[in-house]
């Protein structure tokens, strides 16, 4: 049995679940849909959601469906956050409405349009806090922002996740060879 797949998902009071061709999860933060693959079924009982499979052929999808459903339930009830840090002299970010503007050492500022369901808060112009209810979308937006100026292994400058450890590389030494 899949260890993850057989764990029941606790449903908070404010979360409503509708099971059909796909799982529809509605909560105070928003509404998400999770596809249900063939051979996998869902059952709601005693304030919990259980994911069941027909046979061992569907073992991989069992754990995947349970994880996606659990992320949807957590997202619409509590939400998710992703934190990024901008490191470098003159590097900073601003946000106005749904448009984030980054100054990252290029000749021009970079503007990023934030999708619906993702919010950005900026502390001290260099610490970004992304929040939203869709874990996949939030992670993708964070990865896109990080990709604007990935961390440099030589100078440690760039956009990185908070707590991300970087391997610092040693640069060239000035002894000219023949």
Q: What is the pLDDT of residues 24-43, one digit of tens each?
A: 888 888 888 888 888 888 88
Phi, psi of 143 (to 5 degrees): -65, -40
Tell me the pLDDT band of 2, cut-offs 50, 70 and 90: low
* Cα–Cα distance for residue pair 146/86, rounded to 1 Å: 9
Q: What is the pLDDT of residues 118-153, one digit of tens each?
A: 888 888 888 989 999 989 999 999 999 889 888 888
For domain 9-77, give the CATH number.
Answer: 3.90.930.12
Residue with the two structure tokens 């448009």: 99
- Domain boundaries for CATH 3.90.930.12 within the chain: 9-77, 80-161
CA distances from 152 to 27, 109, 144, 155, 171 (A): 40, 19, 16, 6, 12
CA distances from 34 to 23, 31, 151, 176 (A): 5, 10, 34, 60
The class level of CATH for 80-161 reads alpha beta
**pLDDT of res. 178:** 55
């Amino acid at each position: 049995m899949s260890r993850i797949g057989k764990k029941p998902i606790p449903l908070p009071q404010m979360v409503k679940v509708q099971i059909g061709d796909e799982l529809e999860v509605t909560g105070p933060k928003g509404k998400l849909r999770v596809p249900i693959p063939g051979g996998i079924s869902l059952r709601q009982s005693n304030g919990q959601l259980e994911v069941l499979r027909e046979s061992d052929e569907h073992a991989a999808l069992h754990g995947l469906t349970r994880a996606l459903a659990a992320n949807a339930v957590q997202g619409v009830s509590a939400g998710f956050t992703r934190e990024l840090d901008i490191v470098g002299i003159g590097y900073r970010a601003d946000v106005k409405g749904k448009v984030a503007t980054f100054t990252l050492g290029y000749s021009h500022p970079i503007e990023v349009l934030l999708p619906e369901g993702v919010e950005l808060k900026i502390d001290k112009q260099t610490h970004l806090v992304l929040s939203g209810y869709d874990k996949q979308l939030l992670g993708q937006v964070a990865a896109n922002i990080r990709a604007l100026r990935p961390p440099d292994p030589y100078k440690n400058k760039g956009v990185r996740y908070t707590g991300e450890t970087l391997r610092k590389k040693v640069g060239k030494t000035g002894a000219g060879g023949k």
